[in-house]
Amino acid sequence: MDNVRQQRVDSWMIRRTVALARRGGAATAPNPMVGALVVQDGCIVGRGWHRRAGGPHAEVFALEEAAERARHATLYVSLEPCNHHGKTPACTDAILAAGVSRVVYGMKDPNPSVLGGGAAMLRDGGVDVRCEHAAGIVEDFYRPWVHWLKTGRPFVTLKLAVSIDGRIAADMGSPRWLSCAVSRARV
């Protein structure tokens, strides 16, 4: 497969991992939501997402579903695989044990306990590793988690529409739209 086509496939797969990651929702907090796919010969043979804090990570679920088909396959992960032991073993250990030959992740993990170490450990283990940003989709997805990680505060978006005289309703309290349809669709 030529480089341009491979990059398109990688980008598409990373977008799929983000869609899988969303399934974890708030149950993963304080950990990030993560999605993973194992692809062998162009077919998805394993998928997983981080379901809850303290539970197995997305990579582990995807590798378990793929079983032996993970050997010499490509693993796509929305976030760089972890390389440290906490409540669960390091994902890099599971990836190396499964015999995955290539790992593509969507964003370097900004957590100080990972911060490039997962990718480095995989490279040291002979795995071809690359980061595919997927046109900023991954960064946008992780923006709230990164903000929380760096500041300890939640990421909040506030939409406030008021009239020029500071009111939010017309006379007699009857509702009236003060913002356009596009901005109303965001909330």
Instruction: List phi, psi (to 5°) of 55.
Output: -95, 175
Q: Which pair of tokens denotes residue 150? A: 């760096």
pTM for this entry: 0.84
Q: What pLDDT, on the 0 to 100 scale, is given for residue 181?
A: 81
Q: Residue 25: what residue type?
A: G
pLDDT band of 174, cuts 50, 70, 90: low
Q: What pLDDT, on the 0 to 100 scale, is given for residue 170?
A: 64
Reported as a single tens digit per residue, the pLDDT across 74-121 is 999 999 999 988 888 999 999 999 999 999 999 999 888 887 899 999
Q: Bridge partners of 131?
A: 105
Domain-wise residue ranges, the chain: 3-151, 157-187
Q: What pLDDT, on the 0 to 100 scale, is given for residue 160?
A: 72
Q: Residue 27: what residue type?
A: A
pLDDT band of 182, cuts 50, 70, 90: confident
| Active site annotation includes 132 | no
Cβ atoms of 155 and 144 within 8 Å: the answer is yes
Q: What pLDDT, on the 0 to 100 scale, is given for residue 171?
A: 66
Q: Which of 59, 68, 80, 139 is catalytic?
A: 59
CATH architecture type of domain 3-151: 3-Layer(aba) Sandwich (3.40)
